[in-house]
Structure 1
Amino acid sequence: MVQRLKYSYGADPSQWGELFLPDPPAAGQLRGVVVVIHGGYWRSTYGAELGEPLAVDLAEHGMAAWNLEYRRAGNGGGWPATFQDVLAGIDKLAELAGQHSLDLGKVVAVGHSAGGHLAVWAAGRGHLAGPGPGAELADPGGVRLAGVVSQSGVLNLAEAERLNLSNGAAANLLGGSSSEFPRRYRCADPMGALPLDVPVYAVHAEADDDVPLAMSALYVDASGAGGVPAHLVMVPGDHFDLINPKSPAYAVCRELAARLLG
């Protein structure tokens, strides 16, 4: 029986997450948490309902899941609010761990599309320290991700801007072009946080017409220069098969999340 509990991590109506809990094991402690971060090209048209079926499925397979909502472009999000929310939402798990016997040594993220971007970006939060537009996001005491499954993630913002993906979604998120805000783009781009010291599985659907394969392939290629190289995993289906719990594409993502949790 899956238990679901909703918690706020801020005052805004979009600052919340829903925790999906499986029956606890005999030992009492759940084996880590999967943070589910939905996509929608960072726009307020789409919300956490996209991640809910995944969170339910993960809990039904014995994994605690934290389905995270956040402010998006159009409802108070963008730079830096969307990024602040993702980190604050992940950090909320530190407060919930004691209440629900969560193992914070094993927190991984599954992010779809723009959520894949945010998940991989959050895994590189340790690179935010120091002067620059990301300094206000740095928090050395925050909850760290132990790995990421990116589902056709937008992992190269410079290329996303060049291709004008989803009619200027990157500029819509960051408040303008990279020529206007070059440091902002560098801070928000997962490419800028390489090398990472945690594993990333860049899962990409073979028939994806929404996010080009280059978004995953360029990131994986760049990751090979140091740290823990990312892995490109091709799966059958289209963009939305990745978030369909009945599809083979999603089954691969679930298996990879379980592998990251060990």
Structure 2
Amino acid sequence: MNSRQAQLKAIDRLLTIMDELREQCPWDKKQTMESLRHLTIEETYELGDAILDNDLEEVKKELGDLLLHIVFYARIGSETKDFDIADVAESISEKLISRHPHIYGDVEVADEEDVKRNWENLKLKEGKKSVLEGVPRSLPALVKANRIQDKVAGVGFDWEAPEQVWEKLEEELSEFQHEVKAGNKEKMEAEFGDVLFSMINYARFLDINPENALERTNKKFSKRFQYLESKAKSLNKDLKDMTLAEMDVFWEEAKRL
């Protein structure tokens, strides 16, 4: 691994390149925080894909893309004299020190749960009116539900055991089925949301990340379906002309791969 000196030199090189691009490249000169925002979100998802694929070479590249965006935002901030990269680094350093009194102060913790509870309580003391203020509005609903549950659990609003969450899930499933039979679309949607929220909660108690779990299933399904498509093509058949029984033969083959 690189020495600290080499790491700092590499960061300094990136800052220099960013300065040069901002001053000389027509595209880079034109960018604003707003124009970069959607690109940053895209890069974050690409990093997430690389992590799920356990492709460490790709993880390295995607981290580089994200680091570029951080440097880019900091450069724009320096142009308006609001902040620069040093301010960004100092800000997160100060936050980490204040949020870890068990490391930098005299607070004692027993385990990870104590750390999480302290973290949420400290944020409230910093002026946040709600523990949910830290959950971005634009998060996808599944990720948001998981973060909401994490946040409220951090201040003690939580079930005591997985069995209780499972019972709640069964209750929500029963209520959903009742509305399905009643045929009220609006109530069906509301109860289905409750089912999903309870499933995400149960996954949290089992230490399963629901977003990762669902994305793994998406990838698995896509791989099997693409196998089905390739087999159909090799037989000069169109999927829409095949029976479910015919397709199921190839689907079962794909599951064994």
Normalised-by-shorter TM-score class: under 0.3
**Higher Rg of the two aligned structures:** 2
**Normalized against structure 2, the TM-score is what?**
0.22
TM-score for the superposition, normalised by structure 1 = 0.22
